[in-house]
Amino acid sequence: MNGRQPPAVSRRVQFDWRKDLEASRDLMRRDIDAYGYVLSWIEDWRVQRDMPPGRETMEAWWRECAKRKEQPAWRLRQWSEAISWYLGWLELCRKSGGTGKSIAERLKDAVHGAAVCCP
């Protein structure tokens, strides 16, 4: 051994709303499934448009997708509850040092960051 230490790797704790939703003890199984469905839809929509996670993006999705056609009141209520859950999760995530970005976004950021530092 040559006594050299390996370079320190800075690891940011990553948060996954899907895992946290799945582990939620204050929701019923059917709500977990329904929230997961709509939140996945919203995340796909958001990532395709390169929008940041947050309230403004949720409001844009609501205007563009949720209100695009007539929806039953129970569905809009369920979607609203899912969005509220997500925004609460995002606030806790950010307070703990996370970004709320998806795995795909973090991978894209890493690739772009590598391209910038290593031409």
Ordered by start, the domain boundaries in the chain are 17-117
Rounded to 5°, the CA angle 51-33-100 comes to 30
Distance CA 85, CA 90 (A): 9
pLDDT for residue 9: 45
Q: What is the pLDDT along the chain (119 residues), one digit of tens a residue?
A: 555 655 544 456 678 999 999 999 999 999 999 999 999 999 999 999 999 999 999 999 999 999 999 999 999 999 999 999 999 999 999 999 888 877 767 667 677 666 555 55
Distance CA 85, CA 13 (A): 21
- Global pTM reads 0.79
